[in-house]
Structure 1
Amino acid sequence: MEIIELLTPAYEVAWLPWAVQYFFLVAVATGAALLAAACAFASAGSPLARLTPLAVVTLAIAAIAAPVSLLADLHQPARFWHFYAHFTPWSWMSVGALLLPAFVTLSLSLCASWWLGKPAWMRAIAPLLLLSLLTIVAYTGAEVMVVRARPLWNTAWLPVNLALTGWLAAIGAMFIIERFLPAPLRPHEAALQLLRSIALALAGALALATLGWVALGWMAQAPSLLAAARLWQDFPVWRWGMVLSALGGAAVLAVLLAGKTRMACPYYRLVLGALLAGSAWAFRWALFMSVQGVPKFGAGLYLYTMPLGGDGLLGILGMAGLCVALVGLISWALELFPARQHPVAAI
């Protein structure tokens, strides 16, 4: 009897969990920016106008936290400086070093305009913010899509999926954050139903994008779909992951549909928000971390154990703690300045 021993070497991953935090938070920021820009032109008293405080607070939190996770991923501050001292326009990462500060500046400017009660300023900033967020969506999607060594990433459908899942996560974050806003700033049920309707539209668009990736990929025998088929066929852990992802998507859609009669329940909104945000985060974990466990050549899986320190669990908990701290700080500031608790009439 012949015994064949297979050895799998341990390779360091190229993308650390910090990348998951950054791509998640920056996507939430773009989703919140999109809604905040729309709210700037809403008529006073409308459900969309009632969502303005929630969209602005979510935007402020994500726009501050996202660059922090990016800087942590770079490890050395000098690496950030190199993007400017040695600019390479053919690199999406280098281009992003210019686009991200502009987006953060416009986002915080819009938030400050709302805080100061300047609706005219908000309307002036909103178109620029809309253009900026689209550049962030393009840069973050293209930064991953251009990696040809990973066929699963190398598809034009990837930026679409990243954007749609990120915007769903932004709505999920809003359902969670609204519980911590001062009572006068919380959206009423009509506004919450509007937020749920937006989430349903995004979920439908995501389902269509997924079906388009499968159908067109099958007809063209696209490398991205073939890579996914290989994962399904050769790796049982991926097979179970894909099944659980499909079941999770169906569960999120079912919870969304149930919201027509249950939106008034705060616990329902909390569960819905956690499902939307958690699903988007899990998608990015599978995309960035799990895919790196699949060898580019050969068989088997690379072994990866998430470290407990700053490059792993502690970093994830730290970013979650930062977001919680920002929610608490902004909520305290809104309580401290009661004049900002009646902003809707000014919009």
Structure 2
Amino acid sequence: MSIIEILTPAYEVAWLPWAVQYFFLVGMAATSTVWVWRCAWSRDPALRRLEPALMIVLLCSSIAAPVSLLADLHQPGRFWHFYAHFTPWSWMSLGAILLPVFVGLSVANVLAWWLDKRALWRGLSLALLVSAVSILVYSGFEVMVLRSRPLWNTAFLPVNFALTAALASLGALLLVARFLPGGVAGLPMNYIRRWSLGVVLSLILVALLWLGSGLMGESRSFAAAQELFQTYPVWRLGFLGSCALGLLLLYMLSRPAETLQGTWYSLLCAAFMLGSAWVFRWIIFMAVQGVPKYGAGLYLYTMPLGSDGLLGMLGVLGLCIALIAASTTLLSLFPARHAPLTAQAAQTH
């Protein structure tokens, strides 16, 4: 009797960890525009207290995201090829047009807010919201169109990208507010709680719709996920862990708004909200690439420690920390012109 040993080969991944950082940051920047638009057009003075932290989240994430994209392209010069050889049928080529417009509008919104040009800010917030929708569509569809990956090739993917990014933007809002005068205690937590609960409930609804479509045989992604769940314990653990995290977030955010204003409780909520959105993208990009298109077993992937792996991820984290630190420092040195109105709103509420 002969013994045949089958080895699973190691293949180079097409999407590097840089892509995880890019999709995380650009999604967070795009979905934060919903809260920017809400604050710009609201007559509730309590929302003024959200504006400083919100504008820092928008500015920092919209600047850090393109840096991650350029790094994922390996050579910054490749970005020029999207303009020199424009192909409108390519989502990546369209993104090369849409992304600079979005970044420019993000910076313009921050400047209009800081200069207290409320009428201008309102108009710009609408333009930014439209631009953000284009970013969410392009970034979701450039992954969804790959038919060779059933787990990606579903209309539910762009929706999940958008909803998890919205959750991350609210988590970042809670985190950044800690470094501003007043901290999280000065935030209108009833708004953050309501928005966060709405996002989590929407995610649960989308998951149930995906489950229903799969049970009716209308979803290739569900069939592929079901096979992974039945075959590989690591995927089974991942699916169950995602369900548990979703229920935990639902419970934590269902607590009274006063509870969320606790220093450690708000930090824990922010960590879970940011972490769940980031882990979702890691699973979608890195773990799914370990699933062979043809054959059995899982491809082996070891994250490199250099710039294409751990070092690059730490670099993006350091860039975000530096941008937040610079923004909060500049805001304290040069307060927005309507800062007294914000302080007054905080005292009356």
| TM-score in same-fold range (> 0.5) | yes
Return the alpha-carbon distance in structure 1 between the equivalents of residues 230 and 256 of structure 2. 37
Which is worse superposed, 161-170 or 263-272? 263-272
Shift of 1:320: 0.7
Shift of 1:249: 1.3
1:129 aligns to what? 128
8 Å CA contact retained: 2:189, 2:257: no
1:174 aligns to what? 173
User: Which secondary structure does the structure 2 equivalent of 1:342 belong to?
Assistant: helix
**How has the CA–CA distance of structure 1 residues 345 and 255 changed in structure 2, closer, same or farther, with 3 Å as cutoff?**
closer
Shift of 1:84: 0.2
2:340 aligns to what? 342
**How has the CA–CA distance of structure 1 residues 279 and 325 changed in structure 2, closer, same or farther, with 3 Å as cutoff?**
same
User: Which secondary structure does the structure 1 equivalent of 2:178 belong to?
Assistant: helix
**How has the CA–CA distance of structure 1 residues 187 and 106 changed in structure 2, closer, same or farther, with 3 Å as cutoff?**
farther
Shift of 1:155: 0.4
Shift of 1:164: 0.2
TM-score (norm 1): 0.95
Which is worse superposed, 18-27 or 119-128? 119-128
Return the alpha-carbon distance in structure 1 between the equivalents of residues 336 and 102 of structure 2. 28
Q: Does 1:234 align with 2:270?
A: no
1:247 aligns to what? 244
1:40 aligns to what? 40
Which is worse superposed, 305-314 or 337-346? 337-346
Return the alpha-carbon distance in structure 1 between the equivalents of residues 211 and 309 of structure 2. 33
Q: How does 1:240-279 map to 2 (within 5 A)?
A: 240-279=237-276
8 Å CA contact retained: 2:184, 2:261: no
Return the alpha-carbon distance in structure 1 between the equivalents of residues 120 and 336 of structure 2. 18
Which is worse superposed, 49-58 or 10-19? 49-58
Return the alpha-carbon distance in structure 2 between the equivalents of residues 121 and 231 of structure 1. 51
What letter matches 1:305 in structure 2?
Answer: T
2:21 aligns to what? 21
8 Å CA contact retained: 2:185, 2:261: no
Return the alpha-carbon distance in structure 2 between the equivalents of residues 147 and 343 of structure 1. 50
| RMSD of aligned Cα (Å) | 1.7
Which is worse superposed, 258-267 or 103-112? 258-267
Shift of 1:217: 2.2
What letter matches 1:135 in structure 2?
Answer: S
What letter matches 2:246 in structure 1?
Answer: G
**How has the CA–CA distance of structure 1 residues 64 and 343 changed in structure 2, closer, same or farther, with 3 Å as cutoff?**
farther
8 Å CA contact retained: 1:44, 1:345: no
Q: Which runs of 5+ in 2 are unaligned?
A: none
8 Å CA contact retained: 2:116, 2:336: no
8 Å CA contact retained: 1:50, 1:187: no
Q: Does 1:141 align with 2:140?
A: yes
Q: Does 1:188 align with 2:191?
A: no
Q: How does 1:203-242 map to 2 (within 5 A)?
A: 203-242=200-239
What letter matches 1:22 in structure 2?
Answer: Y
8 Å CA contact retained: 2:25, 2:61: yes
For residues 256-289 of structure 1, give each alpha carbon's deviation from its aligned partner in whole angstroms, at most 9, with x where no partner exists.
Answer: 1124341221111111001000000000000000
Q: Does 1:60 align with 2:59?
A: yes
1:97 aligns to what? 96
8 Å CA contact retained: 2:112, 2:120: yes
Q: How does 1:2-21 map to 2 (within 5 A)?
A: 2-21=2-21
Identity %: 53
Shift of 1:346: 11
TM-score (norm 2): 0.95
For residues 207-258 of structure 1, give each alpha carbon's deviation from its aligned partner in whole angstroms, at most 9, with x where no partner exists.
Answer: 0001001101221342111000111111111111111111111111111112
